[in-house]
Structure 1
Amino acid sequence: MQKRTIYILGNFVTAFAVTLFFSCQSKTSQTNSYRIDDDAPIAEAFEVNLKYTDSGRLTAVLRTPKVKDYTNKGFGYREFPEGIVLDIIDNEGKISVVTSDYAISYVETGLIDMRGNVDIKTADSTHLMAKQLYWDQSINWVFTDQPYKSILPDGNVNEADGFDANQDFTILNSRINEGVMFIEE
């Protein structure tokens, strides 16, 4: 009987050891599937309709099909890979519309880089078209070194190789201009 008890106890210890050995296997294959790639955004949003207010007054509306948030990076930014439509509303309620095929907004500097078919239609009917445009939100300044074309409300057309202006376009410094101006005699 003692041999049988030792035999049963030995089998029990062996079964217990084997169970412990197999239960301690690595689960890294499952946990790695939950890891986020280092180049991945920390958030993505779709069909965004974002309203900006200042002292309770609506100042801008941003619409975009997709935004990727990389603000966790050393130099954080938000990317709009499918473009933007931005309505800017002035103090009188007049709306200017800015569109582009792609945009990227840098958090630290407040600089927005818009690329591809940048189109601005101001509330006073000025129309500006460019390949690329930068908007420095910290100083409310717009600029580009790329060719652009503007059509003023009076029909004057201006084409140039770059400009810088305040965001209201009341100050405009244009470089290497060509255009058509209508002058009353």
Structure 2
Amino acid sequence: MDLNHSFKVFFVCPVVLSLFLSCKNNFEEVKKIGISENEPIGIAEHINLKYTDSGRVTANLKSPKMLDYSNREFAFNEFPDGIDLDLFDEQNQKSNVIADYAIVYDKTGIIDLQGHVVLSSTNKDTLFAEQLYYDQNREWLFTNKPVTFRTGRDVINGKGFDSDTKFTKAQVLEIDGIITLDE
């Protein structure tokens, strides 16, 4: 055997062996061909969803468009054109949430509301924010972005907000000023 042939065998065998050993069963990956993780698995337009509990409407969600990304490992639903959400309490009194953009994360139960967020409660308290998070599991609202909170005759400006959903424990953080309006 000549030296050139020995060199080829010595060089080619490890390359072929490494290729063979690096192959694995990619059946799950092959099944995903044609479905990009960057694309939604579903698109819904002109949404008008009513949520009920024991026959009573508890919420009504309206949105021009919803993108369903449940095909991702960290699944979420995106509302790129905003939401308008009416919430009804036990006495059928309505609170309202409006935002230019929303995203709902399934695993964490966190809703991220962005762009001209306005939350109006049944007792006429109103929160204006650039961004607001809602923790569905704890029923808690929070942000570290600038807010304006109108409660009673007071308008409070600050750099954050922390509260339960009924505003009974509402707290404006890093208050910039309070304005009391005439009746």
| TM-score bucket of the superposed structures, by smaller chain | 0.7 to 0.9
TM-score, normalised with respect to structure 2 = 0.77
Q: Which residue of 2 aligns with 1:146?
A: 145
TM-score, normalised with respect to structure 1 = 0.77
Aligned partners of 2:172, 2:106: CA distance in 1, in Å?
28
Q: Which residue of 2 aligns with 1:119?
A: 118
1:163 to 161, 164, 167: 161
Aligned partners of 2:73, 2:117: CA distance in 1, in Å?
28
Q: CA RMSD in A?
A: 1.6
> Which consecutive unaligned segments of at least 5 residues does structure 1 have?
1-33
Q: How do residues 6-17 of structure 1 correspond to structure 2 at under 5 angstroms? A: none
Bigger Cα displacement from structure 2, 171-180 vs 110-119: 171-180
Q: Which residue of 2 aligns with 1:88?
A: 87
Q: Which residue of 2 aligns with 1:54?
A: 53
Superposed displacement of residue 72, structure 1: 1.5
- Identical aligned pairs, as a percentage? 40
Aligned partners of 1:38, 1:70: CA distance in 2, in Å?
8
Q: How many residues align?
A: 149
| One-letter identity of the residue aligned with 1:76 | A
Aligned partners of 2:54, 2:158: CA distance in 1, in Å?
38
| One-letter identity of the residue aligned with 2:162 | D
- 1:12-50: per-residue Cα shift (whole Å, max 9, x none)? xxxxxxxxxxxxxxxxxxxxxx93333111100000001
Bigger Cα displacement from structure 2, 172-181 vs 46-55: 172-181
Aligned partners of 2:162, 2:137: CA distance in 1, in Å?
15
> Which consecutive unaligned segments of at least 5 residues does structure 2 have?
1-32
| One-letter identity of the residue aligned with 2:54 | S
Q: Which residue of 1 aligns with 2:27?
A: none
Superposed displacement of residue 182, structure 1: 6.2
